[in-house]
Amino acid sequence: MALKFAYTAMDGQGKEQRGKIDADNAQDAATKLKQQGLFPTSIGEVKGSGPAKRSGAGGPGGAQKAAGGSFASFMGGTPVIKRKQLTTMTRQLATLLDAGLPLVRALRTLERQARKDPALRRVVGDIANAVEGGSTFSEALAGHPKSFNKLYVNMVRAGEASGALEVVLTRLAEFMEKAQRIAGKVKSAMVYPVIVLVVALSITAGLMVFIVPKFSKIFDEMLPGEPLPGLTRIVIAISNFMQQQILIMLGMIAAAVIAFKLFKKSKSGAYFLDMIAIKMPPFNQLAVRSSVARFCRTLGTLMQSGVAVLQALQIVKDTAGNEVVARAVQTVHDSVKEGEGMSKPMESTNVFPGMVVSMVEVGEETGALPEMLNRIADIYEEEVDRAVEALTSLIEPFMIIFLAVIVGGIVIALFLPLIKLIDKMGG
C-alpha cells in the first residue's frame, strides 16, 4: 500500500517547494519528485501512514540525507558557503575541469581539500552525491540556494547545455572576484566616517555623563543663584537627561534601529532608501556607478554564457541589490518581452546614465551586446575607484569639522561660566 510522504524540494529556479506525495517508500518518493523536475532536500513519512523515517538512499536521496536529516538541518538548515570560499572553489573547479578531470572526481578532490571548512566540505559532498546519483550539476546546485544563487545556477545550466562548463565557471569566478573588489571599495569608503562617528559619539557621551556633572556642581557652589549662559544650560540639561533617563534613551535607540531595519526590509522602504542613495550627494555618484557596474557585469556575463536575454534580465533584477535598479530592470524586461530593444526602456527609467544607454544601443546594433556590457562594466568599475577616492577625501575634513563642533561646543559651554567665575573672584 502506498504511503504518504511530506517533502521539501527545490525547483529548477532554486525556489523552495513543499507538499505531500504518495509513494511506496522514501526512495520512490524522491524518484517521483525528480520526474516532476524537483530536487528533494528532505522527505519524511507523514505520521499515521506508517513508521516515520528519513530517506538516506543514493541518488537524489544522497543529497537529501545531508540537507534534510543531517545535524546541520536539525540545527536550522543546510550549511552555507561563504562568498570568499565560493569564489575560490569556483576557480579551483574550473581549473580541474579544464585539466580534463571528470566533474565528480573534481568535486571529490575539492571535498578532500576542504578539511578546515566543514560547511564547504558538506555542501560539496552533497553535490557530488547528487551528481553521482544521476542529477545534473545545476540541479545539485539548486538544492543549496543559500550558497548558490539564481545567477550561479543558471550560468552553470547554460554551461552544461553548451558543453563549456569550465569556461562558464571561469567567467563566474572572474565575475565574483570583480564583484567582491567593488563591494570592498564601497565598504572601505564607509569605514572611515563610521569610525569617526563612533569616536565622536563616544567622546560626547563620556563628556556628558562624567565631566559635565562635575562642572555643574562647581557652578552651583561657586555661582549660587546666578543665571548661566544659554549654551551652558542646554548642555547641562542634556547631561541630566542622559544620566537620569539612560534606560529610556537606550530603549529609544533600540526602537529606532529595529524600526529602521523593518522599514528597510519592506519593498517601499528599500525603494525609498535606495532612491535617497542614488539622488543625494555626495553619495549618489558612488551608488549610481556601483549599481551600473553591477548591472552591466551581471547581464553581460549571463548573456555571454548563453543565458537567454529575458531570463538574464530576470536574474539581474533578483540580484540587483538595489530596489530602484530592480524596478528599472523590470521595466526593461517587460519591454524586451514585447519585442522592443533594451536601450529605449533603459532611457525611459531615468536610472541609467546617457553614456550607458548609448553604448547599449550601439551593442544592440552591432550584435555585440554582451561584450559592450562588459566594457561598460570595466569603465564604471574604474569610476567606482575614483568615486571612492573622491568621497574619502571629501568626508575626512567634514568629519573632522563635525567632531570639532560637537566636542568644541561642549567645552565652550563649560568654560563660559568659568570666565564669569574668574571675573567674580578677581573683583
> What does 221-264 look like in DSSP terms, one character per residue?
HHSTTPPPPHHHHHHHHHHHHHHHTHHHHHHHHHHHHHHHHHHH
For the chain, give the mean pLDDT: 82
What are the beta bridge partners of residue 301? none
What is the β-pairing status of strands 16-23 and 39-45?
Answer: unpaired
Residue 197: band (very low, low, confident or very high) from pLDDT cuts 50, 70, 90 = confident
Task: Give the pLDDT confidence score for residue 14 in this predicted structure.
Answer: 56
Task: Give the pLDDT confidence score for residue 42 in this predicted structure.
Answer: 66
Single-letter amino acid code for the residue at 17: Q
pLDDT tens, residue by residue, 342-394: 999 999 998 899 999 999 999 999 989 999 999 999 999 888 888 888 887 88
Whether the per-residue pLDDT at 64 is higher than 90: the answer is no
Give the domains, in start order, of the chain with CATH numbers.
3-64 (no CATH), 83-177 (1.20.81.30), 191-427 (1.20.81.30)
Compute the radius of gyration of the chain from its Cα atoms: 30
Residue 222: band (very low, low, confident or very high) from pLDDT cuts 50, 70, 90 = confident
C-alpha cell at 380: 564604471
Residue 182: band (very low, low, confident or very high) from pLDDT cuts 50, 70, 90 = confident
Who has greater pLDDT, 25 or 287?
A: 287
The helix or strand, by DSSP H or E, that contains position 108, with its residue range, turns out to be helix 103-113
Task: Give the pLDDT confidence score for residue 77 in this predicted structure.
Answer: 52
C-alpha cell at 244: 537620569
pLDDT tens, residue by residue, 114-154: 888 888 999 999 999 988 888 889 889 988 888 898 889 88
Whether the per-residue pLDDT at 204 is higher than 80: the answer is yes
Q: How far apart, in whole angstroms, are the C-alpha atoms of residue 49 and residue 2? A: 9
Are the CB atoms for 30 and 40 separated by under 8 Å? yes
Residue 267: band (very low, low, confident or very high) from pLDDT cuts 50, 70, 90 = confident
C-alpha cell at 52: 516515520
pTM tops 0.75, yes or no: no
HSE-CB of 86 using CA atoms within 13 angstroms: 21
